[in-house]
Structure 1
């Protein structure tokens, strides 16, 4: 009986050692799987964070560029508007001069030729200016 007991005890020890080795291997593999999963998860979270940061930076830069372009556009429109106002005031002064000349021409109907030439010339200048202003206003619209 002692031989049988020893054999049973020895076979139990080998089974126990095999089970311990298998358990250790399973634990080792589980730890590695957990480490790999944690690494992949960390990398994914970090890449998403970096993508969000880059998107926010690009959005901020785009907004700044749009604001700068809007400011430049507004400045140019203001300059054009000021130029048109100046041209219109000059045109108004020419129209007033033309009206004075017409009044003078009516009063002095005897000396027709000289005044009518001046009047015709000024009328042509006014028409040209009006046409230019109309074209420029159409372009702006």
Structure 2
């Protein structure tokens, strides 16, 4: 049996409890909202940081690759120039050797013509050899012109 005073006191306690639970529900919603916002902010920051770091790595890798490529191209160019110079020296040496042989064949041919008699005819062989040597000399000159 409750008296009217107890009923009023019981209802005021119930009202106080419901007010506390309403405040607790509001603070619980705020807590969830703050927690959810924090997670979204952390995720967004992580994604942004990842994108910036990836972009920085791309720039660094591309600059390193460009410098390595440039070094390799310079090395290849130097090697090519060296080979070209060696080839020029070799061709010039071959041409000098061939010119020496042609001169000696010309001297031999002149000597043979001077000493030729009706019994022997070595001049045809010398002319043939001289023509072959001149052909080779012309080929070497063409190769040298191509290299220039």
Using the alignment, how far apart are the partners of 1:122 and 1:110 within structure 2? 18
Give how far 1:83 is off.
0.8
The partner residue of 2:56 within 49, 54, 58 is 49
Give 1:19's aligned residue: 26
Aligned to 1:94: 101
* Pairwise CA distance, 1:125: 4.2
Q: CA deviation at 1:72?
A: 0.9
Per-residue CA deviations over 1:84-139 (Å, capped at 9, x if unaligned) read 11122223333434444555566x27547466156325414413522652674587
Which stretch shows the higher mean deviation, 49-58 or 35-44? 49-58
Q: How many residues align?
A: 139
Q: 1:116 matched to which residue of 2?
A: 123
Secondary structure of 2:67's counterpart equals helix
Q: Distance in 1 between matches of 2:144 and 2:91?
A: 9
Moved more, 131-140 or 17-26: 131-140
Gaps (5+ residues) in structure 2? 1-7
Normalising by structure 2, we get a TM-score of: 0.71
Question: Which aligned pairs between 1:1-141 and structure 2 lie closer than 5 A?
Answer: 9-101=16-108, 104=111, 108=114, 111=117, 113=120, 116-117=123-124, 119-120=126-127, 122-130=129-137, 132-133=139-140, 136-137=143-144, 140=147
The structure having more radius of gyration, on CA atoms, is 2
CA RMSD, Structure 1 to Structure 2 (Å): 3.2
Distance 1:116 1:103 in 2: 9
CA distance in 1, matches of 2:100, 2:63: 55
